[in-house]
A = this chain, B = another copy of it.
Amino acid sequence: MAVTMNDVARAAGVSLKTVSNVLNDYEFIRPATKQRVHDAIAELGYEANLTARSLRSGKTRMLGLVLSDLSAPYYAELASRLMTVASRRGYRVLVEQSGAAAESELTALQGPFRQLTDGLLFTPLAMEADAVASRRGSKPVVLLGEHIVDPRFDLVTMKNEEAATAVTAHLLAAGRRRIAVVGARSEESAGTSGLRLNGYRKALDDAGITFDPALVAPGEWRRDSGAAAVAGLLDSGIPFDAVFGLNDALALGAMHELLVRGVKVPQDVAVAGFDDIDEARFASPSLTTVSPGMDEIAERSIGLLIDRIEGLETADDGVHVEAGFMLKIRESAP
């Protein structure tokens, strides 16, 4: 049905292989021949069959992106940028949602998804380092986030601890003394939540304030859990004068609940988040948060992954990249 290389070859009066050579920028082709081939391609409207090319070459020019849920704004914004950056280097991105379940992460890592891609950007949330290490296969994997920090893996991450310290210090500098944290994952001391919590504690320490575990509320990283966590805190009667949401969705949910309950933000309780999703700027009051350098993360992670795929990056140990951050002071915690 479709036009094949053979048709082009016939039309140009050359062999099939010469057409292939032209398309692959083989060095030694007479300009006249090249021209004839290009003319034939244009005339017939030939387009290379990517599937056949993949079968023969073993490359798909697709990158896998495994994340928990594309509807989470941080991931949506990240995915959008990753796709844009990847396309500049001639790659597409195929997204797989894991729901943060170990089982799904495993199938994304090992299953057919892997075949379809030349390399993987993987945000592990459930699987541990050894499990990933033993199943990562032979194609490049670049980890995103900080659930797994291990010299065996390439990793692109952000300054979670420093940034969390900066946000907390900002709240402290504004006179807040009882800063609740929402979104902690009790089970993990490392990982994103652990690091941000560490940053928070470090700021408290630096200010000579005792850490109060009662101010730490667990929760999934969604708006509704942020709201629920704050509802719990308010109902329990524990006093607090600020809320640090471990990500923006949590913080925005928390802020919503505060306002619904008649608590003034920032007068009674200041609120800060983490991620600087677009929504944060337009919340009311606008949300003080940390911009974790998403553009840099997108650039570097795609760059690193493609360099690995194309053999341009050959470090034996994992390359670790940490993007810079910026504190965004807005109305919710001026």
Chain B contacts for A95, CB-based, 8 A? 79, 83, 93, 95
Chain B contacts for A112, CB-based, 8 A? 47-48, 50
Chain B contacts for A52, CB-based, 8 A? 55
Whether A94 contacts B97 by the Cβ 8 Å rule is no
CB distance from A52 to the nearest CB of B (A): 5
Those of A176-231 within 8 Å (CB) of chain B = 223-224, 227
Q: A-side interface residues toward B, CB under 8 Å?
A: 47-52, 54-55, 60, 69-71, 73, 76-77, 79-81, 83-84, 92-97, 111-113, 115-116, 223-224, 227, 252-253, 255-256, 259-260, 278-279, 281-286
Whether B55 contacts A83 by the Cβ 8 Å rule is no
Whether B284 contacts A284 by the Cβ 8 Å rule is yes
Given contacts A51-B54, A115-B47, A115-B50, contact A223 B80 (CB under 8 A): no
Given A92-B116, A93-B95, 10 more A-B residue pairs with CB atoms under 8 Å apart are A70-B83, A71-B77, A73-B76, A73-B279, A80-B97, A84-B97, A92-B94, A94-B94, A223-B281, A283-B283
Which of B80, B97, B223, B286 is within 8 Å of A69, CB to CB? B80
Chain B contacts for A97, CB-based, 8 A? 80, 83-84
Which of B50, B76, B278, B285 is within 8 Å of A70, CB to CB? B76
Task: Tell me the complex Cα distance, A36–B197, Å.
Answer: 54
CB distance from A325 to the nearest CB of B (A): 20
6 A-B contacts (beta carbon < 8 Å) = A47-B112, A69-B80, A71-B76, A71-B81, A92-B96, A284-B284
Chain B contacts for A55, CB-based, 8 A? 49, 51-52, 55
